[in-house]
């Protein structure tokens, strides 16, 4: 009996140690004036972590019906400037999930919207979970990448760039364009870490 109880307790303890979450941080953006991606390019995010450049994945910006009920009340979809997370180099297309009869869209997950007004309401905001630990990141930049570019390294076409700094539990930064373009943004990275444990 004692052995049985011990085995059951051991099974409980083992079970408790399984299944950890893969997400290590959530990146929150507000992006303004970011242009829609051309069919042959995409955006790619990078972070500076401990002096190394870390790939945070690719994005495209395209006008999408981000929620299939979202239309003008006439059946015509409301198309909004959406940020779609996609697998680099983002060459795959898929049927529009809201209406397959429409032109195909870039394959990926809609993560939010580029800032835009809708009457009195300001739409916008992007959140992207990542498996990369970013609590020590010191910089973040976004490049425009040709779809045909096989290199995982960032291209020279820098769209947004900014230094990151620790602000309490989060890492924060303002992103600006190195050129005279109006594009700008803010980013906050929230590490997936419980900091109030005793």
Partner 1 sequence: MVAIAAVDSSSAVAQSADVVDIEIPAVVLESRPSQIEEAAAEEDLTQTVLSVAKRVETVEAASSIVTVVTRDTIDVHGYTDLSDLLDEIPGFEGYRPAFYYQSSEAFARGNARTILVLWNGVPINSPQTNRRALGPYLPINALERVEVVSGPGGVLWGANAFLGIVSATPQRELRGDAISAVTATAGASPRASGEYRASAAVADQWLRGRVKLYANLGLVSTRGAILTPPYDLTSGPFPAPDSDGAFQLRPSTGYTHNARDTWMPLTLAADLGPLKIDVLYPVIDRQFREFNDQGLRTDQFVGQDGMLVVGPSSQRAESVTLGSVQLDRDLGKSLHVAARAYYTGFEDRWVRLVKFPAGLLGAEAILVDETYAGMNPYLHDGAYRYGASVDVTRARGWSTTIVGAEAYREGIREVRRSVSGGLAPGDFLLIHPGQRVVTSAFVNEELDVSRRLGLELGARGQYAPGAYAPLVLGSAATRVGLARNVNLKLHAAQGFRPPAFEQTNGNDDARTNPFPHRQSNPDLKAERSLSLESELNARLVADAGGLRWLALRLGYQYTRLDDLIVFGATGEPENANRRIMSSIELRGEAAITGGHRLVVGYGFLTGEDLETGPLRNIPEHRLAVDVEARLARRVGAFLGMVMSGPVEDIDRLPVTSVDGSATAWSSMVVVDRLPASAKLNLGVRASGLMGGHLDLGAYVMNALDSQYPIADPDFERREAIYPMTAPGLDARLTLGWRM
Interacting residues with partner 1 (CB under 8 A): 1, 5, 8-9, 11-12, 15-16, 18-24, 26, 28-30, 66-75, 78, 80, 97-98, 109-113, 118-127, 129, 167-170, 185-188, 190, 192-198
Q: Pick between residue 104 and residue 153 the one whose CB is nearest to partner 1.
A: 104
Q: Pick between residue 116 and residue 153 the one whose CB is nearest to partner 1.
A: 116
Strand partners, 86: 58
The token pair at 129 is 């979970």
Q: Pick between residue 149 and residue 163 the one whose CB is nearest to partner 1.
A: 163
Dist. CA 43–CA 81, nearest whole Å: 14
Q: Pick between residue 129 and residue 139 the one whose CB is nearest to partner 1.
A: 129
Strand partners, 28: 127, 188
Q: Least distance from C-beta 126 to partner 1, angstroms?
A: 7
Q: Least distance from C-beta 21 to partner 1, angstroms?
A: 5
DSSP secondary structure string, 92-134? Answer: -EE--TT-TTSPPEESSEEEEEEEEEETTEEEEEEEEEESS--
SS3 16: helix
């Amino acid at each position: 009996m004692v052995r049985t109880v011990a085995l059951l307790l051991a099974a409980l303890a083992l079970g408790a140690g399984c299944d950890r979450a893969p997400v290590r941080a959530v990146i929150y953006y507000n992006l303004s004036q970011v242009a829609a991606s051309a069919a042959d390019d995409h955006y790619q995010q990078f972070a500076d972590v401990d002096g190394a450049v870390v790939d945070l994945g690719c994005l495209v910006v395209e006008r999408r019906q981000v929620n299939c009920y979202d239309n003008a009340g006439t059946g015509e979809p409301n198309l909004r400037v959406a940020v779609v997370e996609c697998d680099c180099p983002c060459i795959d297309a898929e049927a529009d999930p809201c209406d397959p009869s429409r032109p195909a869209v870039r394959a990926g997950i809609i993560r939010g919207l580029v800032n835009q007004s809708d009457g009195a309401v300001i739409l916008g905001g992007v959140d992207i979970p990542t498996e990369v630990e970013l609590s020590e990141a010191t910089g973040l930049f976004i490049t425009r990448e040709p779809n045909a570019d096989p290199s995982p390294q960032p291209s020279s076409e820098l769209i947004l760039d900014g230094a990151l700094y620790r602000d309490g539990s989060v890492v924060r930064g303002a992103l600006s364009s190195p050129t005279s373009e109006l594009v700008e943004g803010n980013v906050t990275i929230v590490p997936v870490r419980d900091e109030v444990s005793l």
